[in-house]
Amino acid sequence: MNAERNHFFNDVYEVVRQIPRGRVTSYGAIAAYLGTKGSARMVGYAMNASHLDESIPAHRVVNRNGVLTGKHHFEHPNKMEELLTEEGIRIKGDRIVDFPSVFWDPEKNLYL
DNA sequence: GACATGACGATTT
DNA sequence: GAAATCGCCATGT
């Protein structure tokens, strides 16, 4: 069948899996890394479907503000914040403290 | 196939 | 500096 159709989802999942522990990245960064093929929204959309795959640390993906926009899509709204805190990331409200410091850019750490 | 929606982002008001 | 607006494009109805 058309594996090409899912190319975007597949790529997004792969990049997300490469995120080191204690780091986070943004939807836009992933989209930019894959190219302009998909906008940041598509990344978020892909993550929505990621709930089918347990291997995807979706909690390490936040929006460009460092806000846990997708926490409500987890098993429990607190799960995302909890997981990040476990990895040494401090959360204030729904926002990551010192976000640029824990930000992981695939373009700077991954080589294609 | 038109209409509405969405885990975003950048720009403008 | 917060709120509103447009652009992005796949997915569901």
Name all protein residues with C-beta less than 7 A from any atom of nucleic acid chain B: A 26-29, 39-45, 47-48, 50-51, 58-59, 61, 63-65, 69-70, 73-74, 80
Give the pLDDT confidence of A91-111 residue by residue, as tens digits: 988 899 999 999 999 988 776
- A111 CB-near residues (< 8 Å, 6+ apart): none
The structure tokens 């990344």 sit at: A43
Q: Tell me, in Å, how far CA of A29 is from C1' of B13?
A: 27
- A9 CB-near residues (< 8 Å, 6+ apart): A46, A49, A50
Q: Provide the 3-class DSSP secondary structure of residue A86.
A: helix
Residues A42/A7, Cβ–Cβ less than 8 Å = no
Q: Tell me, in Å, how far CA of A105 is from C1' of C12?
A: 32
Residues A87/A22, Cβ–Cβ less than 8 Å = yes
Q: Using a 7 Å cut-off to protein CB atoms, list the covered nucleotides of chain C.
A: 7-11
pTM as predicted: 0.86
Give the pLDDT confidence of A8-53 residue by residue, as tens digits: 788 899 999 999 999 999 999 999 998 876 788 999 999 988 887 8
| A48, closest nucleotide (Cα–C1') | B7
Give the pLDDT confidence of A51-81 residue by residue, as tens digits: 878 889 999 999 999 999 999 999 898 999 9
CATH code of domain A2-100: 1.10.10.10
Q: What is the pLDDT of residue A6?
A: 65
Select from A6, A105, A104 the least CA-distant residue to A50.
A6
d(CA A100, CA A102): 6
